[in-house]
Chains A and B, each alone.
Chain A
Amino acid sequence: MLLLLTLGLLLATGLAFQLGRRRAVAVVEGRASALHSRPVYHGSLVAIWSVLPAALLVLAFAVAQPTLVGSLVMGGAPAAVQELPEAQKGVFLADVRSVATGNIPSREPSPEVRAAADRYRVLTQVGHASLAVLVISLAAAGLGLSRRRIRADHRARASVERAIQGVLVASSTVAIATTVGIILSLVFEAARFFARVSPIEFLLGTSWSPQTALRADQVASSGAFGAVPVFTGTLLVTLIAMAVAAPIGLFSAIYLAEYAGPRVRAFVKPLLEILAGIPTVVYGFFAALSVAPLVRGFGESIGLDVAAESALAAGAVMGVMIIPFVSSLSDDVITAVPQSLRDGSLGLGATPSETIRRVVLPTALPGIVGSLLLAVSRAIGETMIVVMAAGLAANLTANPLEAVTTVTVQIVTLLVGDQEFDSAKTLAAFALGLVLFIVTLALNVIALMVVRRYREQVE
């Protein structure tokens, strides 16, 4: 029904546009030069007036209708249903909906559900019919009124351009709305979590086992939520990743920026970028299937006890993934160092490597630090590699050969699967998400600030 209306509105747009354009041409008897705005603008204005209000109405209806009809159905339900607790009412309504929409319900529906479903269907149909009438009359009214207003000196272009400006401004707020949405959803859900578990225990506790709830009535059924082992695990994996990515990325960037000829550069740079384009799930598969057994076999051959899901394997593969972030950002920073500095150093007799180490790198240092910080933020937020190759158990250890868990792994394991969304377990994921968001945001802001200050200094 809603789809049909949308299609109808699209058709109406074309029709209104044509009607408006024809009318504009007819008003001036074909001499388009007599019009203030070109016929296209008159057509567009008519289309906007006839379709936009109607479309907004359809949207509002689509959002409000399920709740509205639901509450009407519940209001008309028998007293036995009215007295049910809130949660059971929700189940009742869900059953009604699935019966009304013709889905196969999980169990044989009761007579009450059937009756309510019939009512639901009738109400939905009435709603749709009245919506259709309203939409059509609204569109027709808009069409008629705006078409009447077409005159030779009517400033249609100004109105259309105002509407376009409105769309542009609205679009630019989507990014803000996304950020606000992220912050609000994380803060609200995390607040619900911290109402049950104290923030101090979460941030300073050293025991993390949220999955221990075996029965609902069990003592301490919510498990333990001391997130320190999770944080240290994240830190360990990130350190390993940076130990791989920082030297390889930096030396690649130095070589590409200072030594490599244009042909080598044109060949190697895209190859490095491929590393950034490979989906992380592929890295995860590679880490779990190829690298982890390799690390383990090597460790055993020299007499070390290596866990099957060692932090080393996950961290090393993550490091490979991050190489291009370090190398391409550092490359930009190094090439931005003014050539005059190099020329001065070389002219005094320094070798290229001395020039790089004593002149270029110190100048580029803030930018390089910025690029490393961005890479760290990437590593902290990376999910699939650690989900597939790192462990689930929260071990408080600094040994890279043991299995550790990370913030992202915990978020995924706590939220994947069917769960009720108000247990401490699922809410803990949002608390972890909030920490992740704050840390990565802080790193990004600092990194961008450092890089910007560096640019100003160099330029």
Chain B
Amino acid sequence: MSAEQGAGTGSESPHTTEAARGRLAKRHAREKRFRAYGVAAIATAMAALALLLGSIALGGLPGFFQHTVELDVTFAPDLLDPDGTGEPSSLARGDHAGAVKRSLRERFPDASSRRDKRALYALVSRGAGIAVRDALARDPALLGQVAPVEVLLSDDADRYFKGEIEAAAAEQNRKLSDAQIGWLDALDAEDRVRNTFHTRLLTAGDSREPELAGIWGATVGSFLTLLVTLALSFPVGVATAIYLEEFAPRNRWTDFVEVNINNLAAVPSIVFGLLGLAVFLNFVGMPRSAPVVGGFVLALMTLPTIIIAARSAIASVPPSIREAALGVGASPTQVVFQHVLPLAMPGVLTGTILGMARALGETAPLLMIGMVAFIVDVPSGLTSPATVLPVQVFLWADSPERAFVAKTSAAILVLLSFLVLMNLAAVLLRNRFERRW
């Protein structure tokens, strides 16, 4: 006590003693630590986001490119003109893959055994004949001549040039044999191998061969599905929101509907898939794998999102608008449809676009209704078998072919860019047109 007084020289308060200063320093340190936890939490979340997007962007970029090889193809009439007429109908039925194989044999005569030949043919894609067919269709005069044709390399050859298969690895540990790598290097030395933008990825349907597979079929399927979703969920959602916000009497039934909508918004999406399977497919007998069923299921799933967004947009329109319109003699229905709804529309549309974006990324319920089948053809209508972009991603991710890894990332990039566009549209709409009252 006396020592403390001596140190304090009388004028010091109990808050500035040594012990108090120590406590204060501890409290301030704790304050700093607490803040640092917050920063660390946000930094961790950001790092996870960066890692996720970064790994997919890095992995996906090579997927947009594909190596091709320029082969001197002999447009031999015995292979390419089975009828001997030179007519387009005859040229279209020729053995185009055979012509590619023959040109490979001519280029590498050392491949003589059956096994060697098969290994040689495996360097080019199974769809390599398409390039020959297209060249011949463009210029039938090529028949009987030798001309250079760019053909797709197979997925393994493509991965070799992308550095994913290393020549240094032991032969039994890689997908290409020493001989195959020798042939590829020989072609490369002649400057015949080129890395080009792979338009097929964006324009073709699905395929078992990674170098032939594309996402156009899935994109069209997504579009058709979302069309049905929008056509069903937008009118029903807006009508429900109008009813609940403007007309519904305050009673237990209305409360029940509201609680129900809130709960529906939190039901796992896969349960909607089970509903679609049991009701739309088994009970009503709608076709499997069809965009129309997918659209129905996703519409039921996005309905709560749209209702909640539309309700808050309608509720934010000030009552003075309604009173003014009622005052000049408009009926309640006229007030809503001619005054409130137009003013609420930007908010309603923003919510709808966000709901559609969620529906576009949804996978699980569509697996339940069979939109997970392997479908090569681009869907032609609402009832033809189809798949959608996220399901295509799932299918490719499941594929054992290593070359599909890059394709999957590329497909994800396409899907993400659609989502970014939709969200940008929603943000623009909100910033440009939404009024703050």
Contact = CB atoms under 8 A, between A and B. Distances in A.
Contact of B394 (A281, A378, A380, A436): A281
Interface stretch (A73-81, A104-112, A283-291): A283-291
A382 interface: yes
A457 interface: no
Interface residues of B, number: 88
B304 A175 contact: yes
Contact of A181 (B266, B275, B405, B408): B275
Secondary structure of the B contact surface, majority rule? helix
Interface string B255-276: 0110111111011111110110
Contact of A384 (B35, B256, B304, B363): B363
A182 interface: yes
25 contacts: A164-B333, A172-B243, A175-B303, A176-B256, A182-B271, A186-B274, A248-B44, A255-B38, A255-B39, A259-B35, A272-B45, A275-B45, A280-B363, A282-B52, A282-B415, A285-B393, A286-B56, A320-B48, A356-B34, A378-B266, A383-B363, A384-B390, A408-B364, A412-B364, A415-B368
Nearest to B427: A270
A274 B424 CA distance: 12
Contact of B235 (A169, A171, A182, A250): A171
Interface string B380-406: 000000000011011001100000010
B41 A248 contact: yes
Given A251-B37, A282-B52, A440-B267, A168 B242 contact: yes
B340 to A, nearest CB: 13
Interface of A: 63, 66, 157, 161, 164-165, 167-169, 171-176, 178-179, 181-182, 185-186, 188-189, 247-252, 254-256, 259, 268, 271-272, 274-275, 277-286, 288-290, 320, 323, 327, 351-354, 356-357, 374, 377-378, 380-384, 387-388, 408, 411-412, 415-416, 421, 429-430, 433, 436-437, 440-441, 444-445, 448
A384 B364 contact: yes
Nearest to A160: B333
A436 B266 contact: no
B231 interface: no
B419 interface: yes
Nearest to A67: B285
A436 to B, nearest CB: 6
Given A172-B257, A416-B372, A274 B49 contact: yes
A386 to B, nearest CB: 10
Interface stretch (B23-31, B85-93, B186-194, B317-325): B23-31
A256 B261 CA distance: 30
Given A174-B240, A252-B41, A271 B49 contact: yes
A440 B274 contact: no
User: Top 10 A-B pairs ranked by shortest CB distance?
Assistant: A381-B268, A255-B38, A279-B361, A185-B278, A251-B41, A171-B239, A353-B34, A383-B364, A168-B243, A161-B333
Interface of B: 27-28, 30-31, 34-35, 37-42, 44-46, 48-49, 51-52, 55-56, 59, 235-237, 239-240, 242-244, 247-248, 256-257, 259-264, 266-272, 274-275, 277-279, 282-285, 300, 303-304, 307, 331-333, 337, 357-358, 360-364, 367-368, 372, 390-391, 393-394, 397-398, 405, 408-409, 412, 415-416, 419, 423
A437 B48 CA distance: 30
A189 B278 contact: yes
Contacts of B268: 377, 380-383, 408, 436-437, 440
A167 B363 CA distance: 31
Contacts of A175: 240, 257, 260-261, 264, 303-304, 307
A248 B43 CA distance: 9
